[in-house]
């Protein structure tokens, strides 16, 4: 837990958080998804209904609105603390339910029925990358902290965005002469750290520019340079919180979160701090890892969506 001495050393100005939220254009739902703080609590906080919010709640919200002040490990720590406090002291059942509404974990019995090629079935939290490798080649399951999660079958809109983004990225990388860079869409497994046997993620699109990381042939071993995720209701919590934290901590340099319904692209330039830029589907978006030399035309993707799906 956070010591009392540290609490006094890190005062939080509530008005600064409210102002920063407006500057970034964040909704209460986005702050909740990124911080792990229940939506009801976020709404009360920014609506002024909570006069004395918990310190750890304040810190978790600050990690989202002022990421440059926090390391990814510290941000994850505050999220864990808030999660535990929420389970114990939530104001109501609806708030507790909202925290996990995007969970897609499959019960062990369902996993056994769907994926009988896994050699031995264990309790969630004990699966390894070796178990993941033993799944069928077309698996859409991700391994997060030793738990297997089923990625739901994507929609046609989701896949259209992924395919168009992949095409533009791949063409741009080839035109730039970066022959060592590999651009691939899902489903390709990524073991972010070769010494981490409890995590294997499947980004929607990735770019990795180190041949040592993709010489395995079946999966990427090491942090990609670029990752993009097209959000859906069933995966948003993991993409915004769990996977974001792991990508940042592993050394992914650039992370794009694409919100199709809102027609938004959130670009995270990741180093020791996170620089966040919000774009719309009408924008030309520079690829940071190319020093801005590659531009992704989201207007063309948006026009295609309108033409095909109305």
Strands 264-270, 205-208: pairing is unpaired
pLDDT tens by residue, 268-284: 998 777 788 889 999 99
Top-level class of domain 156-309: alpha beta
pLDDT-above-70 percentage for the chain: 76
State the CATH architecture for 4-99.
Orthogonal Bundle (1.10)
Is the pLDDT at 308 greater than 50, yes or no? yes
Residue with tokens 């050699």: 119
- DSSP, collapsed to helix, strand or coil, labels residue 295 as strand
Is the pLDDT at 89 greater than 80, yes or no? no
pLDDT at 40: 84
pLDDT tens by residue, 216-271: 988 999 999 999 999 987 677 778 777 888 898 899 999 999 999 889 999 999 87
| Residue scoring higher pLDDT (77 or 219) | 219
**Average per-residue pLDDT in the chain?**
78
Query: How many Cα atoms are found within 13 Å in the side-chain-facing hemisphere of 37?
Result: 27
Order of strands, edge to edge, in the sheet holding 226-230? 182-185, 205-208, 226-230, 254-259, 264-270, 274-280
Is the pLDDT at 169 greater than 50, yes or no? yes
* Domain ranges for the chain: 4-99, 156-309
Over range 18-34, report the average pLDDT: 83
**Is residue 278 classed exposed, middle or buried when 0-12, 13-18 and 19+ CB atoms within 10 A define those classes?**
middle
- DSSP, collapsed to helix, strand or coil, labels residue 244 as helix
pLDDT tens by residue, 172-217: 999 998 889 999 999 999 999 999 999 999 999 999 999 999 999 8
Label residue 54 by pLDDT band (50, 70, 90). confident
Which ranges in 145-209 belong to alpha helices (H)?
156-175
| Residue scoring higher pLDDT (297 or 135) | 297
| Residue scoring higher pLDDT (164 or 21) | 164
């Amino acid at each position: 837990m956070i010591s009392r001495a540290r609490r006094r050393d890190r005062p939080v100005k509530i008005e600064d958080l409210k102002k920063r939220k407006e500057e970034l254009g964040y909704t209460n739902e986005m702050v909740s998804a990124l911080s792990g703080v229940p939506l009801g609590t976020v709404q009360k906080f920014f609506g002024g209904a909570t006069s004395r919010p918990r310190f750890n709640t304040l810190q978790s919200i600050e990690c989202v609105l002022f990421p440059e002040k926090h390391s990814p490990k510290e941000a994850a720590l505050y999220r864990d603390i808030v999660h535990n406090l929420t389970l114990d002291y939530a104001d109501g059942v609806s708030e507790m339910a909202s925290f996990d509404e995007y969970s897609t974990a499959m019960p062990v019995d369902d996993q056994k029925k769907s994926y009988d090629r896994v050699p031995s079935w264990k309790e969630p939290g004990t699966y390894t990358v070796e178990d993941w490798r033993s799944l069928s080649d077309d698996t859409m399951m991700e391994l997060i902290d030793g738990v297997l999660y089923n990625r739901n079958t994507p929609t046609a809109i989701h896949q259209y965005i992924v395919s168009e983004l992949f095409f533009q990225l791949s063409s741009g990388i080839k035109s730039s002469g970066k022959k060592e860079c590999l651009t691939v869409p899902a489903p390709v497994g990524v073991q972010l750290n070769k010494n981490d046997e409890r995590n294997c993620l499947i980004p929607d699109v990735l770019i990795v520019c180190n041949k040592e990381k993709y010489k395995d042939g079946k999966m990427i071993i090491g942090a990609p340079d670029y990752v993009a995720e097209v959000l859906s209701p069933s995966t948003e919590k993991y993409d915004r919180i769990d996977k974001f934290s792991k990508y940042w901590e592993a050394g992914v340099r650039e992370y794009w979160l694409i919100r199709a319904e809102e027609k938004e692209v959130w670009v995270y330039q990741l180093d020791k701090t996170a620089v966040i830029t919000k774009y719309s589907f009408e924008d030309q978006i520079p690829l940071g890892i190319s020093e801005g030399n590659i531009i992704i035309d989201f207007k063309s993707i948006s026009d295609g969506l309108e033409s095909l799906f109305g």
